[in-house]
Structure 1
Amino acid sequence: MPVQNKDDGGWKKFVWNSDTREFLGRTGGSWAKILLFYLVFYGFLAGIFIGTIQALLLTLSNYKPTWQDRVTPPGLTHSPRSDKLEIMFNMNDMSTYGKSVAAIKNFLKPYDDETQRDQLKYEDCGDQPDVYKNRGDLETEIGIRKACRFPKSFLGPCSGADDQNFGFSDGKPCLIVKLNRIVNYLPKPPQSNETMPEEAKSKVQPNLIPIHCTSKKKEDEDLLGQVAYYGIGPGFPLQYYPYYGKLLHSHYLQPLVAIQFLNITMNQDIRIECKVYGENIFYSDKDRFQGRFEVKLKVNNF
C-alpha cells in the first residue's frame, strides 16, 4: 500500500480550511480588502497617466506640428530621382530612360487639368509671381482652404504635352523640381543679390524664390551648356504659400520648376548643383537636399 505523506493534509488545509473558511490562509473578507486596495492603487496610477496624456493633447494643434525646427528650411527635390543621385542614359535607347520618363509622368499626375477643376478647392492665381495668398489662420473655423491651380502648361516643353519623353530622346532631359511642403511656412525672397553667384543675380525679382543650376566644378561649365527654366518665373512664386497641412489643404499643389539642359556635352559625366535663394533658406553639409540638390548627369549618344 502507498504511504501517505503526513504533510498532505496540512497543505490541503492551507489551500482551503473548511473549519475557518480560509483560502490560502486568509478569509474572504481579507482577500476582498487586498483586491480593493490594488484596484484603487492601480486605478489611481492609470488615472494620472490618462490625465497627463489628455493634458498634453490639449496643448497640441490638429493642424500644425508642434515642433518644426528640424524640418525648416525646406528641402529641394526633383523628379526623376535615383538612389545614387545620378541620371545616366542613352538618348537612342528608350530602355535606358524609360523609368525616368515614367517617374516624371507619375509625379505630374496630380497636376492634370481634370484634377484641378473643383471651384470649391482651386482658384486661378495668375501666371506671374505675386504676394502670399493668406487664407486665414490655421486655428480658425474656416475649414478647407482653396489652393492655387498649377497647370502643367506652365512647364513649357517639359510639360509632356508635346514631348512625351520630356527631352530624353533628344538628349535634352528635363528635371521637375519642387520645394518640399512645410505647414504655414513662408519662404522669403532674397533682399539683395550680393550673396548670389554672378550668373544668378539677374533672377532676383519681387515675390519669387529663384533657383539656379550650375556645374559643381568650375571646369565643367562649358560642358553643361545652356540651362532653361520653365514655370512661373525662374523659381517658386509666393502666391502658392502658405500651405495649410493635410487636414485643410489635402488638395494643395506646390509650384514646380522644370529645368531643361538644352545642349549638354554628350558622353561626359557632369555633376550639377541646383540651389534656391531666400532670406530664410539655408544650406547644410549634413543634409544635401536642404535648399539644394546635386545630381550627376551623363547623356550618351552611341
Structure 2
Amino acid sequence: MAHRSRTESCVWRDSNCVCIFKILLFYVIFYGCLAGIFVGTIQALLLTLSKDKPTYQDRVAPPGLSHTPRSDKSEISFTRSDQSSYSKYVQSMNEFLEMYNDTKQNGDPYEDCGKFPGTYKDRSMEENKKVCKFLRSWLNNCSGTDPDYGFMEGNPCVIIKLNRIVNFRPKAPSNNSLLEELQAKITPNEIPIYCKPKRAEDIGQIEEIKYYGIGQGFPLQYYPYYGKQLHPNYLQPLMAVQFVNVTVGKEIRIECKAFGDNIDYSEKDRYQGRFDIKLTVS
C-alpha cells in the first residue's frame, strides 16, 4: 500500500508539472502572438510614412512669428550704461546670426535669388535642393556691424522670423487685409511685417521703427521649405527691426504682426502670426 501511494504521488507531481508547463507554453505563445501583431502593425504604419515630409498636415496651424533675442515673458529690459544688462541679448543675436554669415554661403547649394521679393521657387524636382542666400549684411544696422546691436545707444534691434512648416507657401496679403500704413510700402510677393506700440499710452514713446532685410518682410522666393532631410541647408528669410530713441524709464508694449492671406492669429497662441514684447530702456 505504501509503495502504491508513493507511485500515485509521483504520477500526481508529474501531472502537475505537465499542466504548469502547458500553461506557461500557452502564455508564451499568446503573448508572443500579441507582440508579433503589435510589431507588424507598427511596421505597416511606418511604411505609410515618409522620412522626408509629414504625411498629414491638414491640422497644422499657421506658422508662428518668433524673435531673437528671446527672453522670459518676452521682456527686453536693459540699462544703456551697463553692458552686463544686455550682454545676454547680444550673445543671443550673435549665435542666431552665425549661420547667416556671408562667408558661409559660398558655392553649392547656395544660389542668388535676388534682393527684391519674387515668386515661389519650386524645387520639387531637384534631387539636391538649392538654397536661396540670405546674407547677414542685408540686415544693415542690425547685422552686427554695430557689435552691441544698438543696445548701448538705446536703439535695440530685434530679429524676426516666420517659423518653418514643411511645404507651406505663405500667401501675400490682399490690399483690403492690410493696414493703411503698409499699403504704399510693400510690393507683391512678400509677407510684410509691421510693428507698433500696442497700448494707446505707448504711442509716441518710440521716435522711429526701422526695418532691414528684403523689402518690408519675407520674400516668397524662399518658400516652400522641404524639410530637414531634403533641405538641410535651408535659410529662412529674416527681418530686422530697430527701435530708435526709445523713451527712457518706461515699459513699452510692442506688437509685431506678419500679414498674409493664409496667416491667422489666435488668442490662445500669442506667437501665431504675431508676438508682443515688453521693452524697457533705462
TM-score normalised per structure 1 = 0.85
Mapping of residues 31-46 of structure 1, within 5 Å? 34=23, 36-46=25-35
Shift of 1:22: 5.0
Instruction: State the Cα deviation string for residues 176-217 of structure 1 (Å, max 9, x = none).
Output: 11001111100000022x233222222332110000000001
Instruction: State the Cα deviation string for residues 53-91 of structure 1 (Å, max 9, x = none).
Output: 122112212122234355421111111111121111111
The one of 96, 119, 123 equivalent to 1:131 is 119
Q: Distance in 1 between matches of 2:279 and 2:267?
A: 21
Worse-matched range after superposition: 65-74 or 172-181: 65-74
Q: Distance in 2 between matches of 1:227 and 1:51?
A: 58
Give the match's secondary structure for 1:248: coil
What is the aligned partner in structure 2 of residue 251 from structure 1? 233
Paired positions, count: 278
Shift of 1:232: 0.6
Verify: 1:111 aligned to 2:95, yes or no: no
What is the aligned partner in structure 1 of residue 187 from structure 2? 205
Which letter does structure 1 place at the counterpart of 2:118? D
Shift of 1:31: 6.3
Give the match's secondary structure for 2:229: helix
Worse-matched range after superposition: 31-40 or 235-244: 31-40
Verify: 1:80 aligned to 2:69, yes or no: yes
What is the aligned partner in structure 2 of residue 23 from structure 1? 14
What is the aligned partner in structure 1 of residue 158 from structure 2? 175
Q: Distance in 1 between matches of 2:263 and 2:222?
A: 17
Structure whose alpha-carbon radius of gyration is higher: 1
Give the match's secondary structure for 1:60: coil
Given the superposition, is the C-alpha separation of residues 93 and 71 from structure 1 closer, same or farther in structure 2, using an over 3 Å criterion? farther
What is the aligned partner in structure 1 of residue 202 from structure 2? 220
Instruction: State the Cα deviation string for residues 215-264 of structure 1 (Å, max 9, x = none).
Output: 00133221122111000111000111111111111211100000001222
Shift of 1:41: 3.0
Verify: 1:150 aligned to 2:150, yes or no: no
Q: Is the Cα contact below 8 Å between 2:186 and 2:215 reproduced in 1?
A: no
Any unmatched runs of 5+ in structure 1?
1-9
Q: Is the Cα contact below 8 Å between 2:186 and 2:216 reproduced in 1?
A: no
Shift of 1:94: 0.8
Verify: 1:61 aligned to 2:46, yes or no: no
Which letter does structure 2 place at the counterpart of 1:42? Y
Q: In percent, how many aligned pairs have the same letter?
A: 55
What is the aligned partner in structure 1 of residue 221 from structure 2? 239
What is the aligned partner in structure 2 of residue 191 from structure 1? 174
Worse-matched range after superposition: 56-65 or 42-51: 42-51
Q: Is the Cα contact below 8 Å between 1:190 and 1:204 reproduced in 2?
A: no
The one of 216, 224, 229 equivalent to 2:211 is 229
TM-score normalised per structure 2 = 0.90
Which letter does structure 2 place at the counterpart of 1:151? L
Verify: 1:270 aligned to 2:252, yes or no: yes
Instruction: State the Cα deviation string for residues 5-52 of structure 1 (Å, max 9, x = none).
Output: xxxxx99x86xx2xx49536244xx66655554444333322222221
Verify: 1:286 aligned to 2:274, yes or no: no
Q: Distance in 2 between matches of 1:34 and 1:299?
A: 76
Q: Distance in 2 between matches of 1:50 and 1:274?
A: 48
What is the aligned-residue RMSD (CA, Å)?
A: 2.3
Q: Is the Cα contact below 8 Å between 1:160 and 1:166 reproduced in 2?
A: yes
Give the match's secondary structure for 2:43: helix
Worse-matched range after superposition: 43-52 or 208-217: 43-52
Q: Distance in 1 between matches of 2:182 and 2:23?
A: 78
Q: Distance in 2 between matches of 1:176 and 1:259?
A: 6
Q: Is the Cα contact below 8 Å between 1:273 and 1:292 reproduced in 2?
A: yes
Q: Is the Cα contact below 8 Å between 2:112 and 2:132 reproduced in 1?
A: yes
Given the superposition, is the C-alpha separation of residues 253 and 25 from structure 1 closer, same or farther in structure 2, using an over 3 Å criterion? same
What is the aligned partner in structure 2 of residue 5 from structure 1? none
What is the aligned partner in structure 1 of residue 41 from structure 2? 52
